[in-house]
Structure 1
């Protein structure tokens, strides 16, 4: 017979873990009536080893309790198949999460490279999934939830685009569209597809940290028109703006936006 300390040393398991296994009735050591110490025999030690085995497969304690009640190997097979499906689902989620993180890292690189700079760049195709009457039409945000690639299916604005129609006198009208980026192998397109092979592109910083609550539309518009005139580009009078990243400094938001302004071919 062995003490809890000896078993912990043999198996590399903490006292707390052994007590937890005991609480969940996965191991049932004997008690020494004279001193109240736990005593583990060879069967008890095997139960701990077996529990550790299933924990290494990331099987929950509740499921291990079910395994203890299995009446046949077939019952165990079902639990293993169930665990396999769970892990495959988690792997798929982690793969999507890594893709999302890499996308945000790419957006960060865009900020570092293009903030305040004007270059010529392609606006890659996007599919229009719907439209909002305005940015603050919160009761219409269901369309964002239904169309978003958010992993948690909660509202984010990464799929929203502000579309501005303008001329030299200023903004004539604007609208907010909900879009989805198109994959190369995507054959499920249903909505309007927007793409422009040549645009004036820039990254803009907005938000209360840099601008207070000032509207910067006029300032950005004047800069865009000036660049187009200097470079000899003719704008079609439309600009697409979306949020790349929002962060905070001193509790105030810093919002980084990217803008595509298509050029006439």
Structure 2
């Protein structure tokens, strides 16, 4: 027979955990009525080891209690199959989270490299999935959720693009589209595909921390036209703007946007 301290040391678990298992009737050590000490035998230790195993599989205490009441190994088989399905689903979600983290890290690199600087680069192919009225059209966000690999709690705006039509006199029209990045294995996209081999590209900063409530479209448009004229580029009169990252400073948002302006 062993004391609670010895068992805790053998198995690397806390006394509180052992007391919790006892409270939930997953282990039933004998009590010495004279001194109140618990005494664990080999069967008790086996119960603790088995309970720890099921907890390692992330099976709830209630389910472990059910396992101890199982009358057939088939009951356990069904429970394990159910837990396996949950873990597979969670792994798929974790992969989506990792993909999102890597995407945000790449966006952060874009900000460091291109903030306030203009260069020429390709706008990679995008499939148009639909339109929304504006970023603040929250009632229309279902189309965004359906076009983005979903997270459990977050609606991400990475699939939304602001499309500006302009000329030398300024902005003529704008709309907001919902897009999906075309992966290498996508052979037959269903919707219209946007693809421009050469664009003037830049990252700009917006948000109340840097601009207050001021609209910076006019300033950015003037600089874009200036860059095009200075380098002999002929713009087609469109720009695609995407939110890269939102952060905060002194309680005010800093919004980093990337812009592609296709060249003829």
TM bin (shorter chain): over 0.9
In the alignment, what sits opposite 1:103? 103
1:92 aligns with 2:95: no
Match of 1:89, SS state, is: helix
TM-score, normalisation: structure 2: 0.95
In structure 2, stretches of 5+ residues that fail to align are none
In the alignment, what sits opposite 1:167? 167
Match of 2:215, SS state, is: coil
1:178-216 Cα shifts (integer Å, max 9, x gaps)? 111111112462221111111000000111111111110
Range moving further from structure 2, 19-28 or 146-155 = 146-155
Give the 4+ runs in structure 1 shifted more than 3 A.
none
CA positional deviation for 1:95: 1.3
1:135-173 Cα shifts (integer Å, max 9, x gaps)? 333322222223232312643211110000000000001
Q: Is the 8 A contact 1:145 1:154 kept in 2?
A: no
In the alignment, what sits opposite 1:193? 193
Aligned length: 264
In the alignment, what sits opposite 2:112? 112
1:205-254 Cα shifts (integer Å, max 9, x gaps)? 11111111111001000110000001100000000001000000110111
In the alignment, what sits opposite 1:144? 144
For 1:89 and 1:133, the matched residues in 2 are separated by 34
Match of 2:21, SS state, is: helix
For 1:251 and 1:179, the matched residues in 2 are separated by 31
For 1:15 and 1:40, the matched residues in 2 are separated by 13
1:121 aligns with 2:124: no
For 1:116 and 1:49, the matched residues in 2 are separated by 60
Range moving further from structure 2, 123-132 or 32-41 = 32-41
In structure 1, stretches of 5+ residues that fail to align are none
In the alignment, what sits opposite 1:4? 4
For 2:138 and 2:13, the matched residues in 1 are separated by 52
Matches within 5 A, 1:1-265: 1-152=1-152, 154-187=154-187, 189-264=189-264
Question: Aligned pair in 2 of structure 1 residues 248, 52: CA closer, same or farther (>3 Å)?
Answer: same
Range moving further from structure 2, 55-64 or 17-26 = 55-64
For 2:31 and 2:153, the matched residues in 1 are separated by 51
TM-score, normalisation: structure 1: 0.94
For 2:160 and 2:29, the matched residues in 1 are separated by 60
Q: Is the 8 A contact 1:145 1:153 kept in 2?
A: no
For 1:139 and 1:62, the matched residues in 2 are separated by 40
Range moving further from structure 2, 250-259 or 63-72 = 63-72
